[in-house]
Structure 1
């Protein structure tokens, strides 16, 4: 198996603590596809009949292409909190795309000219001949994950719709803008992103909307909330007022309101509930008889 990139992402609100029968591995994209693919994510689960896992995710601003035993689809951005209930036994081979890959991948799936915003909150089934062939090959290859990833890589490389000069140019520009919003916490306003990119605010808004189906303001807010949730899980000493400032909020009240509106609970409640969940998982691990 290729070396793991990392076990969990900042957007996963309930990371696995090692005792769950749910496993998630992420693998980095190859260099030649790095402007199209963010990473591969490969979950498996085998739950007892009476157990259900609910995953809550603050989604990265990009599409996901997912093959599962019963279905395969391209999933748009969920602009609120993404949730999924897992039960029984299952697996998936997923690809988190780069933010700018939306229009090209839609064209590759037979939806040329379709606006990414019309896919958000929903999905597009892999119904083209190439999409069906990919689904069949992945299902036959699983659980050999290296082979599954190789099949995905070959499929992306063969999609000519993804590799024209114009498509690549705009995709790389959107990727650069989103990366800046993610990595530079001083980018707290759309005007600052536009200034750094050397374009007008209106041009920036059109470009991001046409590739992701969301506004640049939403992208900035999404990364601030991801970072805040990550810090609440990993740093028990940080004060909420300091945390709010560190992720770009002017004050704690605005941060608390935004966090609760998306996550469904206040930052303090989330921190406390995560701490209790972690402690319970550690206790179960330490007292396991297996």
Structure 2
């Protein structure tokens, strides 16, 4: 799932030039994909990008430096101005262990990271050639750096990846007990994996993926009802979906649908 996957992007029509590039097969256990926005806005213009991010961490290269962005617990935004770019890697749980011993410490935070050689490599790639060539060179160089500097998944890291894959793909998984049964571990084992490799609880992971899909369904299918989406996402009823949606995004599914139809950012 790369360019066609808009889960997590709340208002796609506001995006600047944006691409998701697949990670090489040999890095599938460390990186889900690379994402690259580029923008060139006129003087005085600001483009607010609102996201309901994946329950994961991102290693992000920008002209000014490199940051590790931890998992978020609510919707978040970034205001773009002037001209710029970023090259981010959406990390698999197994990769996080090489960057922090406690991903909970970067939850809802963005911290500077020392990644020797990565900034110069990506910056050089993003300042020369046509857009396709820039993206190709940047992601190839970034992938090579990760292969050299990030440890491959150990058994627990691989199990944490399996947990992420299960929660992301299987809508029937609505409870932590379901995850434990599928993985063949205890509920406490699932909780430990999430604490060590993700930084949010397993329940928060499940809810985030279902809310991403809810937002996408409401945005892309004007005919579908909120109640029908609640059933699709495994909620017991529409009220529970609406409560979850509002607690994380700050507004109701109906309000969100109205905004996407008119791209109105006001409450």
Q: 2:151 corresponds to which residue?
A: 162
Structure with max Cα Rg: 1
User: Which of 213, 220, 223 is matched with 1:234 structurally?
Assistant: 220
Does the residue aligned with 2:136 lie in a helix, a strand or coil? helix
Aligned length: 258
In the TM superposition, structure 1's runs of 4+ consecutive aligned residues that sit over 2 Å from their partners are none
Query: Residue 30 in 1 paired to residue 24 in 2?
Result: yes
8 Å contact kept, 1:105–1:162: no
- Give the alignment partner of residue 13 of structure 1, picking from 7, 10, 33: 10
Maintained 8 Å contact 1:74/1:124: yes
Q: CA deviation at 1:258?
A: 1.1
- Aligned-residue offset at 1:72: 1.3
Structure 2 residue 107 is the aligned partner of structure 1 residue 120? yes
Specify every segment of 5 or more residues in structure 2 that has no aligned partner in the other structure, as ranges.
128-133
**Structure 2 counterparts to residues 1-290 of structure 1, below 5 A:** 5-16=2-13, 22-106=16-100, 114-127=101-114, 131-143=115-127, 144-159=134-149, 162-163=151-152, 167-277=153-263
Task: Tell me how far apart the structure 1 counterparts of residues 154 and 54 of structure 2 sit (CA, whole Å).
Answer: 20
The Cα RMSD (Å) is 1.7
Aligned-residue offset at 1:9: 2.2
| Counterpart-to-counterpart distance in 1, 2:12 and 2:70 | 22
Q: TM-score, normalised by structure 1?
A: 0.84
| Unaligned residue ranges in structure 1 (runs of 5+) | 107-113, 279-290
Q: Distance in 1 between matches of 2:192 and 2:113?
A: 27
Q: Which residue of 1 aligns with 2:131?
A: none
The secondary structure found in structure 2 opposite 1:54 is strand
Contact preservation (8 Å) 1:8, 1:24: no
TM-score w.r.t. the length of structure 2 is 0.91
User: CA 1:16 to 1:8, structure 2 compared with 1: closer, same or farther past 3 Å?
Assistant: farther
Secondary structure of 2:241's aligned partner? helix
- Displacement after TM superposition at 1:178 (Å): 1.3
